[in-house]
Chain A
Amino acid sequence: MENVGVCDEFVNLKATELRLGLPGTEDGGEEERQKVSCCKSNKRAFPETEKDIESTGKTKPASPPKAQIVGWPPVRSYRKNNIQTKKNESEGQGMYVKVSMDGAPYLRKIDLTVYKQYPELMKSLENMFKFSVGEYCERERYKGSEFVPTYEDKDGDWMLVGDVPWEMFVSSCKRLRIMKGSEAKGLGCGV
């Protein structure tokens, strides 16, 4: 009896253990690969967890939260993105903003709340528009590239992305514009 009690305690302890990654997986790094919404590859995610599922498949579903598999459940992204949520797009204060790039034919839209800091945002923009922005430093701003990311704030002024603390940026950014060429040089380099 006592042994069982001890084991139960131990099990409970494990459940409260702080770790990265989902309960049920051992490797914290897998969290990165999880939410692949649009991909070039068709790889099944997490073959290890699939095996787990299969072996326990015939019992009641008390399984841990599963990793998000690409394209499953089969709901079109248009529908997924447009189902009314309690928290709708707010009207311009952070959240969804339009992004345009000089020379690119189409506008895109991004959700700023998805990012935690500037580097993440920059990487995403670089991927989206297939360009690279120079290194940012306080004195010389964006060095090494003809592209300069700018944004329009609440007051209608065009500012350089990166100048203000992240939280302030998210709450005041209305739209983004990636400038190119000579216009950019004026804004991006030096003082």
Chain B
Amino acid sequence: MPEDDEDQSPPSDLRSQPPCSPNKSRNCISSSSSQTFPDHVLENVLENVLQFLDSRCDRNAASLVCKLWWKVEGLTRSEVFIGNCYALSPARLTQRFKRVRSLLLKGKPRFADFNLMPPDWGANFAPWVSTMAKAYPWLEKVDLKRMFVTDDDLALLAESFPGFKELVLVCCEGFGTSGIAVVANKCRKLKVLDLIESEVTDDEVDWVSCFPEDVTCLESLAFDCVEAPINFKALEGLVGRSPSLRKLRLNRFVSLEELRRLLLLGAPQLTSLGTGSFSRGDQSDEQGPPDYAAAFRACKSVVCLSGFRELMPEYLPAILPVCANLTSLNFSYANISPDMFKPIIHSCHKLQIFWALDSICDEGLQAVAATCKELRELRIFPFDPREDSEGPVSELGLQAISEGCRKLESLLYFCQRMTNAALIAMSHNCPELTVFRLCIMGRHRPDHVTGKAMDEGFGAIVKNCKKLTRLAVSGLLTDQAFRYMGEYGKLIRTLSVAFAGDSDMALRHVLEGCPRLQKLEIRDSPFGDVALRSGMHRYYNMRFVWMSACSLSMGCCKDVARAMPNLVVEVIGSDDDDENREFVDTLYMYRSLDGPRKDAPQFVTIL
């Protein structure tokens, strides 16, 4: 499943000057005069100690102790997380951290996923890979999210890092099967090749055949998002010579019959399986229908199941043998009715993560609530993602889940109607909630029973769910809802707002009341200059602010840019250069250590 947009710690401190002087810290010994031991001995000691620090939160803290610690931490950090690729330049990365083995890099803001940003905005991987190619020959892992990656980038990666082990591309684009082929062929130590919800062009290259002929190190291969047929024979061969393979996620060009054959080859080791299309071609059944259940019976270790891209429902019961072991089940590409669904979910007692389409209806959700007592994460996507579609799920399903799944931590729920009462109930029943994202698809829709705004419901969520770090709101919301957010949402790091609020006060409540706010994305809400100015004390401590189709004037954006020199203020416009536009189309601003980027396209104005 794609990585959630969460990070667990404040941003890494990549300032070029260490912040505190040696005199002030008690534990540090200054670098020159009054020392008892030579520098390099101390450094060695520190290195040996600091290498045990894994969490970047701890490392960030350690690097602030003094100059020496800052330096040594920089030498020993092997895993670097960069939440915004434009917050710093690749050169700064390689100057500060000398021995990086693993990079996690995020690019475009999330609203780009919904076509709110023109293509070719940026977030190119190219400058990163070319800089790292020279600086980190021992790089092993690259994990990218929402980056633009070309085939050339992949080729350079494959050639530059002989020990390369893991490539994870989430929501990326710009490359095709030819780039994958190069990685498959040249990265001889490859353990992980995970392509997740990325756009991969079909260059008509048989990339599966490009893996080396001998036994591979592959542990995870996920290509469910690749919209291109594959050479099945080559895949069979690959699975057959990959004894370490634990995770295999097939695309929809692998039929049920082919899946069966693959499972007979390597099922017992697999822990995670993406089933591909889960439908058959037009083969005739000579000896009756094949026994797919037998293939699944062989999957003794599978705990995570996904796929079902073109599900033939009559074959769904074949997965029953694995249901009792499942901790993660993803039905979100399959149109499954409640009747088909209930017998399956009835066996899934250990389920912790469940993704599905709303085609399972409130009835299906009630079945989940009855069985899945260990549920931690629920995502319900709309089968028909339009504002005025039928809504098969509602507050009834949500209420049932809140009563049955008390350990729920993360929720994403698309629906057409909701009530405050259901949200209030959930806020009391599910105190472990850290992520609450509700999308009432009809804009400005009130509580459909009382006709009131959804303020009290969301208010209860922020008030009673004391661990809440991520919130997405929808429906009819007045400034009151935001007053609640500002008052109670003390741990909120990510906030998504659309078509909500009445005035600037709403945004002010949030900017003034939520000290941990890192990522703020707002669209189509009546927030203007006063609100924007009210947050100036916060922007350096945030990863980004996105505001589109709000009421911001160019003049105010310029003022903010002028007042905050380390903030990059991008105004993303539309095609017509109307000087007299009243409001800015899109404002995207973020802090940066290295000033504005040099690769901004024409439609981006950096103030």
Please, what's the 1-or-0 string for B494-519, where 1 marks a CB less than 8 Å from any CB in chain A?
A: 00001100000000000000000000
Is B597 in contact with chain A by the CB < 8 A criterion? no
Q: Does A98 contact B118, Cβ atoms closer than 8 Å? A: no
Cα distance A42–B230 when bound, in Å? 38
Q: Does A83 contact B585, Cβ atoms closer than 8 Å? A: no
In this complex, what residue of B is CB-closest to A96? B227
Please, what's the 1-or-0 string for B170-207, where 1 marks a CB less than 8 Å from any CB in chain A?
A: 01000010000000000000000000010101111000
How many whole Å from B96's CB to the nearest CB in chain A?
34
In this complex, what residue of B is CB-closest to A53? B444
Cα distance A61–B445 when bound, in Å? 7
In this complex, what residue of A is CB-closest to B387? A66
Q: A58-B451, A66-B442 are in contact. Are A82 and B381 (CB under 8 A)?
A: no
What secondary structure prevails in chain A residues at the interface with B?
A: loop
Q: A66-B387, A68-B387, A107-B204 are in contact. Are A77 and B225 (CB under 8 A)?
A: no
Q: A66-B387, A76-B197 are in contact. Are A38 and B119 (CB under 8 A)?
A: yes
Please, what's the 1-or-0 string for B545-574, where 1 marks a CB less than 8 Å from any CB in chain A?
A: 000110000000000000000000000101
Is B116 in contact with chain A by the CB < 8 A criterion? yes
Q: Does B386 contact A39, Cβ atoms closer than 8 Å? A: no
Which residues of the partner chain B approach A61 to less than 8 Å between Cβ atoms?
Answer: 417, 442, 445, 448
> Count of A-B contacts with CB under 8 A?
129
Q: A44-B549, A58-B446 are in contact. Are A71 and B586 (CB under 8 A)?
A: no
Q: Does A83 contact B442, Cβ atoms closer than 8 Å? A: no
**Which positions 55-76 of chain A face chain B at CB distance < 8 Å?**
57-61, 63, 65-66, 68-76
Q: Does B383 contact A72, Cβ atoms closer than 8 Å? A: no
Which residues of the partner chain A approach B453 to less than 8 Å between Cβ atoms?
Answer: 58
Which residues of the partner chain B approach A58 to less than 8 Å between Cβ atoms?
Answer: 446, 451, 453, 476
Q: How many chain A residues touch the partner (CB < 8 A)?
A: 41
In this complex, what residue of B is CB-closest to A66? B387
Which residues of the partner chain B approach A78 to less than 8 Å between Cβ atoms?
Answer: 197, 199, 225
- Max chain B Cβ within 10 angstroms of own Cβ: one of A37, A82, A98: A82
Q: Does A71 contact B387, Cβ atoms closer than 8 Å? A: no
Q: A39-B115, A41-B574, A76-B114 are in contact. Are A60 and B448 (CB under 8 A)?
A: yes
Which residues of the partner chain B approach A90 to less than 8 Å between Cβ atoms?
Answer: none
Q: Does B116 contact A71, Cβ atoms closer than 8 Å? A: yes
Q: Does B119 contact A79, Cβ atoms closer than 8 Å? A: no
Q: A44-B549, A75-B382 are in contact. Are A54 and B201 (CB under 8 A)?
A: no
Is A106 in contact with chain B by the CB < 8 A criterion? yes
Q: Does B385 contact A40, Cβ atoms closer than 8 Å? A: no
Q: Does A40 contact B439, Cβ atoms closer than 8 Å? A: no
Q: Interface-forming stretch among B69-77, B320-328, B330-338?
A: B330-338
Is B414 in contact with chain A by the CB < 8 A criterion? yes
Is A14 in contact with chain B by the CB < 8 A criterion? no
Q: Does A42 contact B332, Cβ atoms closer than 8 Å? A: no
Q: Does B334 contact A74, Cβ atoms closer than 8 Å? A: no
Q: Does B549 contact A71, Cβ atoms closer than 8 Å? A: no
Q: Does B498 contact A57, Cβ atoms closer than 8 Å? A: no
Which 6 residue pairs of A and B lie closest in terms of their CB atoms, listed nearest first? A71-B114, A41-B574, A42-B585, A75-B385, A57-B444, A73-B441
The residues of A with any CB-CB pair to B shorter than 8 Å are 37-44, 53-54, 57-61, 63, 65-66, 68-80, 82-86, 88, 98, 106-107, 109
12 A-B pairs besides A76-B113, A83-B335, A85-B335 with CB distance below 8 A are A42-B549, A53-B443, A58-B453, A71-B114, A75-B414, A77-B113, A79-B332, A84-B309, A106-B201, A106-B203, A107-B202, A109-B202
